[in-house]
């Protein structure tokens, strides 16, 4: 079975727009900005033979703030510029009560089934409590990139490592003892 890094999109790969202490995604490709050191960090993971899979909630589609095409264009640009294997996207809002919207593990489980991923040897990297909860429920180790948003935070002890950037997350992941394939 394969190892994977599950990555939230906004705030992990690209800049999230923070208003009143809460993060928001770019509205379209013109607002997309890949965060510093992200390409290099992802190449380090790729060299270590991890699958790189983006798992992202995009509820603004259900809310009518952006179109599904806008989200898919952003995803396409990221995939063209970064060494990513796949995107798994939830377009629902909380009221839809779907199985894919984080904090439920549905997005990660879809990728597990598609790629034959060993969840115990995989990691979820995210910047919000929903990412950490989904990763934990899916059986992954979790890394919390803490931007100190003014919103619900993951409970202390609910994640395996906390840091300030994807680059730091990757250094920690690569320092972990590797279980044999």
Residues involved in catalysis: 8, 10
- Contacts of residue 45, defined as CB under 8 A and 6 or more positions apart, other chains included, come to 5, 52, 170, 173, 174
DSSP 178: P
- CA 102/CA 107 separation, integer angstroms: 8
For the chain, the C-alpha Rg in angstroms (whole number) is 15
User: What is the maximal distance between C-alpha atoms in the chain?
Assistant: 46
Counting Cβ atoms within 10 Å, is residue 27 exposed (0-12), middle (13-18) or buried (19+)?
middle
Of the candidates 118, 116, 149, 114, which has an alpha carbon nearest to the alpha carbon of residue 131?
149
If one counts every other C-beta atom within 10 angstroms of the C-beta of residue 68, the result is 12
CA angle 15/20/24 to nearest 5° reads 35
């Amino acid at each position: 079975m394969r190892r994977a890094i599950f990555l939230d999109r906004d705030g992990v790969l690209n800049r999230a727009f923070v208003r009143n202490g809460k993060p928001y995604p770019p509205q379209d490709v013109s607002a997309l900005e890949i965060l510093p050191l992200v390409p290099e960090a992802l190449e380090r993971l790729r060299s270590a033979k991890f699958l790189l899979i983006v798992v992202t909630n995009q509820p603004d589609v259900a809310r009518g703030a952006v179109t599904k095409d806008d989200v898919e264009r952003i995803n396409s640009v990221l995939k063209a510029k970064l060494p990513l294997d796949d995107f798994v996207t939830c377009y629902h809002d909380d009221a839809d009560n779907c199985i894919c919207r984080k904090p439920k593990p549905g997005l990660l489980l879809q990728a597990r089934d598609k790629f034959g991923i060993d969840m115990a040897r995989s990691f979820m990297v995210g910047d919000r409590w929903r990412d950490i909860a989904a990763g934990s429920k899916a059986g992954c180790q979790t890394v919390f990139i803490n931007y100190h948003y003014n919103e619900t935070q993951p409970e202390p002890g609910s994640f395996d490592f906390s840091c300030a950037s994807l680059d730091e997350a990757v250094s920690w992941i690569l320092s972990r003892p590797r279980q044999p394939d």
